[in-house]
Structure 1
Amino acid sequence: WAKETTLQRNEEWIIGTNKVNVRDSLTLWQNEKKRPHNDLAYYDIIDITPGTNSDFVKKRSKDEFEEMMKYGSSIPDIDNSDVKELIVKAIKEPDFQKAVENNFLSTRNDDRKKFTWDFAYQLANSFERGNDLLNENLTERMYREVFFTPIMRSLFQKLREDMKVFFGEISLFASAEDYDLTKNDEEDRSSGRKIDIVWTTLPKIEFAIGEVSGPPNQRQHSHFFGDKLKIAKMLKVMLNRIVRMYGGIGESLSLLKLYGLQIYDHTAFVYEMTVPYKGLYVYREVQRFQLPTNRNNVVLLWRSVRNFLLFKELLIQSLNNLNLYIMEANLHTPTENNSASLFVTQMSYTPKK
Structure 2
Amino acid sequence: MRLGNLPKENPGVVSPSNFIGFGLRSSLQMKHNILARHPSDLNIGWAQRVVNCHCSHVTVSRVDLVSVDIGTTTRVRIAVEHDGPETISRKWFVKLPSLAWRPRLITGLPGLLHTETRFYNETAQAVPIAVPGFLAGQSKPGKGATLVLNDVTESGAAAGNPGDALTADRAALVIKQLARLHARFWNKFDLMQKYAWLAGIRQLEDHLGTALAVPLMKRGLRQAEKLIPFPLHAPAINYARQRRRAMRFLSGRPQTLVHHDCHPGNLFWSQTQPGLLDWQLVRFGEGIGDVAYFLATALTPEVRRNHEANLLAIYAQELTNCGIENIDGEILKQRYRAHLVYPFEAMVVSLAVGGMIKPETNRELIRRVATAVNDLDAFAAIPL
Please tell me the TM-score bracket, short chain as reference: under 0.3
Q: Normalising by the residue count of structure 1, what TM-score does the alignment of the two structures yield?
A: 0.23
Larger radius of gyration: 1
Q: Normalising by the residue count of structure 2, what TM-score does the alignment of the two structures yield?
A: 0.22
